[in-house]
Homo-oligomer: A and B are copies of this chain.
């Protein structure tokens, strides 16, 4: 039996469903018993990450800590979280349990560097709170990779799109707008794009953009399968301090 995966989810629920579906597809299982055990806490009641990080709402930290403890009590062997922005509260999770925590941010960075080892400039499709918290910037800085981000009106449009996706709108208009924002980053010099918000891949695929697109959800799916099956050593329990 493989290791049981504890999933902090619900941020949003569609992204968690997307993760669950992809784990099943990629598991390549021929019977129930070859699949992974996934303990999923799809908790849409986690306080809004963007509101909290901009000082307009309560911290999601205590709720995430409680979810992590529950997942450990239910039998999880390690934890993952299907939301980039919420990784700003990773310390609350690490302090709540004794389980290894697989960072979506660090795994995505590593996948980008594997894709393009001599990378100079990466484009981030990430929320303003994720950017403000410097999650990807501090992950890439030690590798001398410059991060390009949406700013001003473009970032506002991006955030508006995310809330439309969370409300269930993944139609052609939303797809076209997301694509045009991605192209802005490519025009600015991004050699690789990171879909660094789990809502982005719901409306943007590799075929939509002229640069390699690294999808943080896909990276987490692949690594989750490897960790669960014991094909990669689980990360050490240490907290990287954001710059």
Contact surface of A with B, Cβ cutoff 8 Å: 1, 10-14, 17, 20-21, 24, 29-46, 48, 66-67, 70-71, 73-75, 163, 166-168
Chain B residues in 8 Å Cβ range of A67: 74
Contact B74 A31, beta carbon cutoff 8 Å: no
Contact B31 A42, beta carbon cutoff 8 Å: no
Contact B10 A14, beta carbon cutoff 8 Å: no
Contact B17 A24, beta carbon cutoff 8 Å: yes
- Copies of this chain present in the complex amount to 2
Contact B24 A13, beta carbon cutoff 8 Å: yes
A–B Cβ pairs within 8 angstroms, 30 of them: A1-B45, A10-B35, A10-B37, A12-B35, A13-B24, A13-B35, A17-B20, A17-B24, A20-B42, A31-B166, A31-B167, A32-B44, A32-B46, A32-B48, A32-B166, A33-B44, A33-B45, A35-B42, A37-B41, A37-B42, A37-B43, A37-B45, A39-B40, A39-B41, A40-B42, A66-B75, A67-B74, A70-B73, A70-B75, A73-B73
Pick the 10 closest A-B CB pairs, nearest first. A70-B74, A35-B44, A73-B73, A40-B40, A38-B42, A12-B32, A32-B44, A13-B35, A30-B167, A37-B43
For A11, give the chain B residue with the smallest CB separation. Answer: B32
